[in-house]
Amino acid sequence: MQAIIQTLQDNLLILTIICGIFGLLLGSFLNVVIFRYPIMLFREWETMAKEILQDRGFKISAPAKVFDQQPEKFNLVVPRSACPNCERSISSFENIPVISYLLLKGRCKGCNSPISIRYPFIEIITAASFAMVAWHFGLWLAIIGRSTIDRLFYCHEHD
Ligand SMILES: [Zn+2]
């Protein structure tokens, strides 16, 4: 651990690249959150609204109008990502941030429909932000990380 921190402190470029890659992965996850979280929130709200109406004596006979085309079990992990046009599951190889978009030339492998530029855009913006923070605060970022770890262990030992 000490050696890794020392290497990162000594080599700003390595730290910047590692943080950039981490930013790419986080950007990829943000894309999932941006698409799925509003649907999850709407479903939660719909369920609560239904319960409140039933508590107040309203009869809800017909099932609520389906707001989205997603399966019943739907969260940040399940189901696997799929093309919104042909519903073909997206393989791990097609899910590499930015690289897959470039290799697929921005089109679905199954139906050739265009993939939104928003996905690689968000990945690049997140990666660039992480890389810039690492480049600018490099040493301090490592020191803050290190002292936080030290403090956590110190507190733990003396509890
Ligand atoms: Zn498709």
Give 115-130 pLDDT, tens digit per residue.
999 999 999 999 999 9
pTM exceeds 0.85: no
Q: What share of the chain is helix, strand, coil (3-state, %, to 5)?
A: 65, 5, 35
Whether the predicted pLDDT of 151 surpasses 90: no
Sequence-ordered list of residues with C-beta below 8 angstroms from that of 71, at least 6 positions apart, any chain: 79
Most confident of 25-29, 45-49, 135-139: 25-29
Q: How far is the CA of 89 from the centre of ligand 1 (A)?
A: 9
Percentage of the chain with pLDDT > 70?
84
Q: How far is the CA of 67 from the centre of ligand 1 (A)?
A: 21
Q: How far is the CA of 107 from the centre of ligand 1 (A)?
A: 8
Q: In the chain, count H helices and then E strands.
A: 4, 0
Whether the predicted pLDDT of 140 surpasses 90: no
Largest CA distance in the chain: 68
Q: How far is the CA of 144 from the centre of ligand 1 (A)?
A: 45
Question: What's the pLDDT score for residue 138?
Answer: 80
pLDDT band at 112 (very low <50, low <70, confident <90, very high): very high
Q: How far is the CA of 95 from the centre of ligand 1 (A)?
A: 14
Q: Which CA distances in Å does 135 have to 63, 85, 131, 138?
A: 54, 40, 6, 5
Domains of the chain by residue range: 2-58+74-157
Question: What's the pLDDT score for residue 158?
Answer: 55
Report which of 74, 101, 110, 97 is spatially closest to residue 23, judged by C-alpha positions. 97
Q: How far is the CA of 38 from the centre of ligand 1 (A)?
A: 22
Q: How far is the CA of 82 from the centre of ligand 1 (A)?
A: 8
